[in-house]
Amino acid sequence: MTNPETRRRQKAERRGRLAEWAATALLVCKGYRVLAQRARTPLGEIDLIVKRGGIIAFIEVKQRGQREAALDAVTPRQQQRIIGAAGWWLARHAAFAQEEMRFDVVSVTPLGFPRHDAGVFGS
């Protein structure tokens, strides 16, 4: 029998994977090509890396009760971690080094469609 904390974490993991699936479906429908999902680097994980035209977007997926809460959940510390991880990823994928880089958030709420906010942080 699993303890309550383990069950809570497993449930959160399932919700996170479902949110990432919904975000991926949205971005593909918008014409993005998925380059990586759950890209692990020594500096942290990037939920999605996508490309459309000359833009590489590093996507953080957040599932919360409201869109604003999802955006607020991407803290300055997390933003810096994602920016560092993106730099590491690009250094190892030289074919994309000349592309424009952007940091986006896809917010997933229980009663709505996923929402893609482009260029939310970094510059």
The SS3 assignment for 123 reads coil
Compute the distance between CA of residue 24 and CA of residue 9 in angstroms, rounded to an integer.
22
Output the DSSP codes for 65-121.
Answer: SSHHHHHHTS-HHHHHHHHHHHHHHHHH-GGGTTSEEEEEEEEE-TTS--EEEEEEE
Return the amino acid letter for 33.
Answer: R
pTM of full prediction above 0.85: yes
4-121 maps to CATH 3.40.1350.10: yes
Mean per-residue pLDDT, 5-19: 85
Q: pLDDT tens-digit profile of 81-110? A: 999 999 999 999 999 888 999 999 999 998
Domain ranges of the chain: 4-121
Q: Are 50 and 97 in contact (CB under 8 A)?
A: no
Tens of pLDDT, residues 35-55: 999 999 999 999 999 999 999
Question: At residue 12, does pLDDT exceed 90?
Answer: no
